[in-house]
């Protein structure tokens, strides 16, 4: 990627963001909404769909890693500036003391527990039992602007999650989980854009985080349990695609999500939708979702595609804070078509 192309991309992005921001400000809205809209206009959803050749020349695939790194740096600097301008009502000293106490205790306590149990676990390593120690570090910033009912909020989440059996593919690269912006009215509605998880339907229980071995179940080098379907085609944070979701909160105990996902998924272009609803009164949580995912091959003459759809529901009972249970149901259907457009029944 040449420096000239990078400067051209930055110039186009800044001009589009400024222009859209001024348009939105003329209607009495924050400029940040227009800047977000500029990102959508320059992305594959608008420019890439209307003028694919121009989009490919302006943002070729080989230039995206460098542009993405620069964008990540910009987000980090933006979050730092927002965080530096925040002030606690009781003063900066109280804010620093609280942050220092939470930060140090969150590191010291797990380390102390690890030191205490390490002598007990170490003898097991000589008996043929393989022990894997997982390291999980999370950095999250969530700047929020609100004038009462209306709000603009963003979140960036960087995760370092490796164990002794894994190595980082590229040194210096960390995993990014959340990266989203949302606008709306508190407890009424919001519009969310970026990389985030959809409403969860299949509840796996407490302490079964997605980055733990316990969530996978019993497995070895030759076999592993099948994954559980719970309206999960469009649930997790997308890799290269982006999410857009409208959330509605008509009642305190009822919420809806209308999610759309568009972008790339490996060798396919992806388009999907997922409406979901949650009824939550504390001790009882009823959840349901339907989803449809359409994958088409990227080459022009390749007619290969895949259609996935399904629905899922769950009923979760929370008896006391530490005891819960429930039932889940999910159904999914997959259709595959080869490069000639013929359905693959195998």
pLDDT above 70 as % of the chain: 81
pLDDT over 50 (residue 164): no
Mark whether 195 and 334 lie in a shared domain. Answer: yes
What Å distances lie between residue 301 and 131, 148, 296, 341, 342, CA to CA? 49, 53, 11, 10, 14
Residue 54 has a pLDDT of: 85
Confidence grade of residue 223 (pLDDT, cut at 50, 70, 90): confident
Confidence grade of residue 233 (pLDDT, cut at 50, 70, 90): very high
In a domain, 177, yes or no: no
Residue 87 has a pLDDT of: 58
In a domain, 304, yes or no: yes
What is the distance between the alpha carbons of residues 211 and 318, in angstroms, rounded to a whole number?
24
Confidence grade of residue 212 (pLDDT, cut at 50, 70, 90): low
Query: pTM score, two decimals?
Result: 0.63
In a domain, 274, yes or no: yes
Phi and psi at 214, nearest 5°, equal: -60, -30
* Closest listed residue to residue 259, CA positions, set 285, 241, 286, 239: 241
Cβ atoms of residues 270 and 293 within 8 Å: yes
Q: What is the pLDDT of residues 100-114, one digit of tens each?
A: 787 788 778 878 887
Residue 250 has a pLDDT of: 93
The residue from 60, 75, 104 where one domain ends is 60
Cβ atoms of residues 52 and 61 within 8 Å: no
What is the distance between the alpha carbons of residues 219 and 225, in angstroms, rounded to a whole number?
7
Q: How many CB atoms lie within 10 A of CB 169?
A: 6
In a domain, 79, yes or no: no
pLDDT over 70 (residue 203): yes
What is the distance between the alpha carbons of residues 182 and 241, in angstroms, rounded to a whole number?
17
Mark whether 195 and 54 lie in a shared domain. Answer: no
pLDDT over 90 (residue 134): no
pLDDT over 90 (residue 192): yes
Q: What is the pLDDT of residues 135-144, one digit of tens each?
A: 667 778 888 8
In a domain, 174, yes or no: no
Mark whether 56 and 191 lie in a shared domain. Answer: no
More confident: 124 or 288: 288
In a domain, 146, yes or no: no
Confidence grade of residue 331 (pLDDT, cut at 50, 70, 90): very high
Angle, helices 64-85/3-26, rounded to nearest 10 degrees = 50
In a domain, 76, yes or no: no
Domain count, the chain: 2
Residue 274 has a pLDDT of: 95
State the chain's mean pLDDT as an integer: 81
The residue from 41, 60, 79 where one domain ends is 60
Q: What is the pLDDT of residues 24-42, one digit of tens each?
A: 888 777 787 788 788 878 8
Domain membership of residue 54 as a residue range: 1-60
Cβ atoms of residues 161 and 135 within 8 Å: yes
3-state secondary structure of 218: coil
Count Cα neighbours of 174 within 13 Å in the Cβ-side half-sphere. 15
Q: What is the pLDDT of residues 262-318, one digit of tens each?
A: 887 778 888 899 999 999 998 999 999 999 999 988 887 888 899 999 999 999 998
Cβ atoms of residues 63 and 5 within 8 Å: yes
More confident: 285 or 134: 285
In a domain, 240, yes or no: yes
Mark whether 200 and 340 lie in a shared domain. Answer: yes
The residue from 60, 87, 110 where one domain ends is 60
């Amino acid at each position: 990627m040449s420096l000239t192309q990078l400067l051209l991309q930055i110039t186009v992005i800044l001009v589009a963001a400024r222009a859209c921001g001024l348009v939105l400000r003329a209607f009495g809205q924050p400029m940040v909404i227009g800047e977000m809209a500029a990102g959508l206009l320059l992305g594959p959803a608008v420019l890439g769909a209307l003028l694919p050749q121009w989009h490919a020349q302006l943002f070729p695939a080989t230039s995206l890693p460098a542009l993405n790194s620069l964008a990540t740096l910009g987000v980090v600097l933006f979050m730092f500036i927002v965080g530096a301008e925040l002030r606690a009502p009781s003063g900066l000293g109280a804010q620093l003391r609280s942050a220092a106490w939470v930060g140090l205790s969150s590191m010291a306590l797990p380390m102390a527990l690890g030191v205490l149990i390490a002598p007990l676990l170490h003898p097991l390593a000589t008996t043929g039992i393989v022990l894997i120690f997982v390291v999980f570090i999370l950095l999250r910033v969530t700047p929020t602007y609100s004038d009462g009912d209306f709000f603009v909020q963003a979140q960036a989440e960087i995760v370092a999650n490796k164990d002794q059996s894994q190595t980082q593919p590229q040194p210096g690269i960390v995993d990014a989980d959340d990266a989203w912006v949302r606008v709306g009215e508190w407890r009424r509605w919001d519009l969310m854009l970026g990389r985030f998880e959809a409403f969860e339907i299949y509840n796996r229980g407490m302490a079964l985080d997605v980055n733990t071995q316990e969530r996978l179940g019993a497995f070895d080098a030759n076999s592993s349990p099948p994954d559980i379907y719970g309206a999960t085609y469009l649930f997790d944070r997308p890799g290269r695609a982006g999410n857009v979701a409208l959330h509605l909160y008509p009642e305190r105990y009822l919420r809806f999500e209308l999610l759309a996902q568009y972008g790339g998924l490996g060798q396919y272009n992806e388009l999907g939708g997922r409406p979901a609803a949650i009824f939550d009164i504390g001790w009882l949580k009823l959840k349901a979702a339907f989803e449809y995912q359409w994958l088409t091959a990227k080459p022009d003459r390749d007619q290969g595609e895949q259609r996935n759809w399904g629905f899922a529901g769950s009923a979760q009972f929370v008896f006391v804070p530490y005891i819960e249970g429930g039932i889940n149901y999910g159904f999914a259907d997959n259709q595959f078509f080869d490069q000639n457009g013929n359905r693959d029944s195998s």
